[in-house]
Amino acid sequence: MFRHVVMFKLVETTTAVQKEALLAGLSRLPGQINQIRSFSVGLDARLAEGNFDVVVMVDFDTADDYVDYAAHPAHREFVTNCVLPVLATRSAVQYAFDR
């Protein structure tokens, strides 16, 4: 298995509507990209200062499936239209793991 974890820090001017669009767009990706095996998204609980705002964890069968996901038109369009307009900082990691 192969996992992609990404965290977003949003610009302070991000509106509730933009946050909802971000979460909705993320939630649609598993139905659009066949390589996704498991998908989880969440907003920070605001229990500690300085945390990122959004976390996404996506599992794939292989690293190649991750590469296909990253290049998939639905993913690219989502990033361009929903993420980049509100993105302050992004951090990510990809790693192999045993199920």
Write b or e for each residue in 21-47: b if 16 or more Cβ atoms lie within 10 A of its Cβ, otherwise e: bbbebbeebeeebebbbebebeeeeee
- pTM value is 0.92
CA–CA gap between residue 38 and residue 4 (Å, rounded): 10
Q: Structure tokens of 26? A: 């993320």
What integer is the mean pLDDT of 2-7? 98
User: Is the pLDDT confidence value at 99 over 90?
Assistant: no
CA–CA gap between residue 4 and residue 79 (Å, rounded): 15
Q: Which domains are delineated in the chain? A: 8-96 (3.30.70.100)
CA–CA gap between residue 21 and residue 37 (Å, rounded): 23
Task: State how far the alpha carbon of 97 is from the alpha carbons of 4, 40, 62, in Å.
Answer: 11, 17, 10
In the structure, what pLDDT confidence band is assigned to residue 86 with cuts at 50, 70 and 90? very high
pLDDT of residue 47: 97
58-82 residue pLDDT tens:
999 999 999 999 999 999 999 999 9
27-60 residue pLDDT tens:
999 999 999 999 999 999 999 999 999 999 999 9
pLDDT of residue 71: 98
How far apart are the two ends of the chain, measured CA to CA in Å?
7
